[in-house]
Amino acid sequence: MSLWTIDLFLASLEVVLSILILMAYLKLWRTQIGKILVTMALVFLVHGVVMIVAFSMWSMHYREYVALPSMAIALSGVVGLALLYYITKM
C-alpha cells in the first residue's frame, strides 16, 4: 500500500465525517447558530472532496516524498473532525 493510498483513504474518511456532522446539524439550520454550523460542515465537506482530487492528481506526478507531509495534513483534519463529531453526539 502506497502513501498516496493512505492519503486518499484519510481524505475519504474526512468526507464521511463531514457528511455525518452535516446530517447532525441539519435539524438546527433554522437557528442562527445552526446556519453557521451547517455552513462549517459544508466547508469541511468541500475541503475533503478537494483533497481527494488533489491527492489523486499529485499521485500521478509526485513521488512518495510529497505524500508524507500531505498525510500529516489529512490526518490532522480527520482527528479534528472526529473530535467535532464526538462533541456533536454528546
Round the average pLDDT of the chain to a whole number and report it: 92
Q: 0.75 exceeded by the pTM?
A: yes
Q: Provide the pLDDT confidence category of residue 11 given band limits of 50, 70 and 90.
A: very high
Q: 90: helix, coil or strand?
A: coil
What would the pLDDT profile of 14-55 be if each residue is shown by its tens digit? 999 999 999 999 988 899 998 998 999 999 999 999 999 999
Kindly list the domain boundaries of the chain, sorted by start residue: 3-88
pLDDT score at 42: 95
Nearest Cα residue to 7 out of 59, 47, 44: 59
10: left (phi over 0), alpha (psi -120 to 50) or beta: alpha
